[in-house]
Structure 1
Amino acid sequence: MIRTLQTGDTQALLEIYNYYVVNTVVTFDIEPLSFEVFQGKISSINAEYPFLVYEDQNEILGFAYGSKFRPKPAYNFSVESTVYIKHTAHGKQIGTQLYKALIGQLKQTEAHTVLGVLTIPNEASVKLHKKFGFKEVAHLKEVGLKFGKWHDVGIWQLKLH
């Protein structure tokens, strides 16, 4: 079931997120986030943007949210989309379900465009964005240094209106 973020979700979401911090280059955070820092982050996002959680049999298996793309006022109608799936729950279409719901909610806002910012290569994430009609609009070379290696970032765009 997909539902909105609840206060008691923080620890489960943090565990999903910190797995990716420690084991992958999907996020460019280098150190695991503390409960307090992560709670502040998701509370701030949830105050302004849709924040969805996928729960099955009382277990949180993923989450997706929109967030501010850049801080300058001219970007106020551009939203960055994010989705994380518990590493043991891939292949169940959870990301697809969360993205469908998130995009649906973003279409009900004043957002004009949604941007997916992906570490490249990332075949699963590229496939997900293509499925929803996102188009690659930028490929930034060697912009993130993690695990002693430079990584590329792709920006994928979906115009909502």
Structure 2
Amino acid sequence: LCAIYNHYIEHTTITFDEQSLQPEAFALQIEHVSQRYPWLVIEEKGQVLGYAYASEWGSRSAFRYTVASSIYLHPEAPKRKGMGEMLYRALLSQLADRGFCRVIAAIAVPNEGSVALHKKLGFSQAGYFHAMGYKFQRWIDVIYLELPLASGNSRV
């Protein structure tokens, strides 16, 4: 999992992290996030192909029913096989089952594949922010997408 994320740190603007993570630090992040939110992994024949997870969207208590979501697929995972959609649908289902009401995705753009996946799953644009991050000697815009979950009143 850490190697997948480090690929995106080192070679893309998909994440705004700029320094590779050590596996130990990444494991601690998974442990911390998993205490409250789902962290799902997709494998095939023993090889990790990607992961998706939810995390805190805002630190104030009134945001407790809203989560941020993230998905990362192995850069060599087969494209257009539905793995990302399957993984994300499982994440959204678990979030709804846990009583969360809204999912926010912040996507560094351009990233047509991620935007298309989110829109296919029912996310709609909630905002667009210019020059939010600076990486690889250029400014990066961010699109915010949101998805209301059909969980009604929260049970979190």
Q: TM-score range by the shorter chain?
A: over 0.9
Paired letter, 1:159: P
Residue 142 of structure 1, aligned match among 131, 141, 147: 131
SS at match of 1:137: strand
The Cα shift of 1:91 comes to 2.7
Q: Per-residue displacement from partner, 1:38-93 (whole Å, max 9, x unpaired)?
A: 11111111111011000100111000011101111111111111100000013322
The Cα shift of 1:151 comes to 0.3
Q: Report 1:1-161 matches (<5 A).
A: 13-89=1-77, 90-161=79-150
SS at match of 1:48: coil
Gaps of 5+ in 1: 1-12
Runs of 4+ residues deviating >4 angstroms: none
State the Cα RMSD in Å.
Answer: 0.8
Paired letter, 2:94: Q
Q: Per-residue displacement from partner, 1:112-134 (whole Å, max 9, x unpaired)?
A: 10011100111000000000110
2 CA distance for matches of 1:100 and 1:115?
14
The number of residue pairs the alignment matches comes to: 149
Q: Per-residue displacement from partner, 1:107-160 (whole Å, max 9, x unpaired)?
A: 101211001110011100000000011000000100100011000011100001
2 CA distance for matches of 1:100 and 1:78?
17
The Cα shift of 1:96 comes to 0.6
SS at match of 1:15: helix
2 CA distance for matches of 1:134 and 1:141?
20
Q: Give TM-score, length-normalised by structure 1.
A: 0.90
2 CA distance for matches of 1:30 and 1:92?
30
Between 145-154 and 33-42, the greater mean CA deviation after superposition:
33-42
2 CA distance for matches of 1:146 and 1:92?
30
Paired letter, 1:138: G
Paired letter, 2:71: V
2 CA distance for matches of 1:54 and 1:35?
18
SS at match of 2:35: helix
Q: Give TM-score, length-normalised by structure 2.
A: 0.93
